[in-house]
Amino acid sequence: MKIVAALGYNDCQILDLTGPLQVFASANQALGYQAYQLKIIGLDTQPIQTNSGMRILPDLAFSDLREVDTLLLSGGRGVKALLHNKALIDWVKQRAESVERIASVCSGAFLLAEAGLLKGKKAVTHWKSCALLDKNYEDIEVDSDAIWLKQGHLYTSAGVTSGIDLALALVEEDFGHAITMDVARELVVFVKRPGGQAQFSTQLNAQNEATGVVAKAQAYIQKNLDKPLGLTPLAEFCCVSERHLFRLFRRCCDSSPAAYIENSRLSLAQQLVCEGTLNFQQVAERCGFVSADNLRRVFLRRLGVNPREYKARFGKLSLGHSVGIGE
């Protein structure tokens, strides 16, 4: 039996703590026996006040944990105070030498970083905190788009529910794909989530922060996705040089105009595919991808699934249906 321990603390994100543990609990059910023993550890044995206001009673204090195979470090606003807890940071560093796996969820990556465990490694955290992790720990290669990353026996995952993605991957390492599929079906989640976390953040941030020339260019792009778009016509429309427009996009959106255009086209294509009123060729033309083949290639490259698979997962008809008793 493998022991899985998850660290909680005041103002931790409750889903960071409970989401991954539910995956392991569901794996026990799928396997038909207790393959995992689950423990919640705290700074002490007092109830943990999570960010939701709900309280969780830890099984024991971290300093009393004797055996553990997989150690999970949850994230949340309270992690900032823990970075100054020398006893905890030293304990994390020591445990990393003996555990089979040590993993962070969301901003729990900062605990690994403070313990020096991410030096020279790739890591990910919540997209809102990636820049801060990169700034405060320059020896870490931060991947702002990954859902989770593995570096030896050390794992980091992105924001909140990505801890579930990571836990599924750990179950698959232990018991294979079939059991993991059973768990994913039980929890109604993906074994491998299509796309990265940047698809949830970059485009929205770019639109929210844009002003002046960039905002004008973005508005033009949104109205003309079905037409040929590029740096030259955009610069002409905005009455600026191509070089200046490129610099403005980089500064404001942290992406090139070409990347922003593709993101906008993909976002619209996802919406139209889910609505199901247009065929894939029509979707491609409406979004500026020209052909269904091009649409398919972009979906596979960016989301990891083709349009048909994406529609099956997210389309209106796949969201649920009514069934009669006994059906």
The string of DSSP codes covering 193-260 is -SS-GGGGTHHHHHHHH--HHHHHHHHHHHH-TTS---HHHHHHHHTS-HHHHHHHHHHHHSS-HHHH
Mean pLDDT of 162-183: 93
More confident position, 325 or 195: 195
Is the CB of residue 93 less than 8 Å from the CB of residue 115? yes
Distance CA 248, CA 253 (A): 8
Pairing of strands 60-61, 55-56: unpaired
Architecture of domain 201-316: Orthogonal Bundle (1.10)
Q: How confident is the model at residue 318 (pLDDT cuts 50, 70, 90)?
A: very low
Mean pLDDT of 28-44: 97
pLDDT of residue 209: 54
Mean pLDDT for the chain?
89
pLDDT of residue 198: 59
Q: For 13-25, what is each residue's pLDDT tens digit? A: 999 999 999 999 9
Amino acid code (one letter) for 246: F
Tell me the β-bridge partners of 48. Answer: 56
More confident position, 239 or 210: 239
Residue 321, pLDDT above cutoff 60: no
pLDDT of residue 146: 87
Domain 2-195: which CATH number of 3.90.1150.10, 3.40.50.880, 3.30.10.20, 3.40.50.300? 3.40.50.880
pLDDT of residue 215: 87
Q: How confident is the model at residue 222 (pLDDT cuts 50, 70, 90)?
A: confident
pLDDT of residue 316: 54
- Which residues of the chain form CATH 3.40.50.880? 2-195
- pTM of the predicted model over 0.85: no
pLDDT of residue 250: 86
Q: For 237-269, what is each residue's pLDDT tens digit? A: 999 999 999 998 888 877 889 988 998 899 889
Residue 110, pLDDT above cutoff 90: yes
pLDDT of residue 311: 83
Pairing of strands 60-61, 36-42: parallel
Q: For 83-93, what is each residue's pLDDT tens digit? A: 999 999 999 99
- Which residues of the chain form CATH 1.10.10.60? 201-316
Tell me the β-bridge partners of 38. Answer: 4
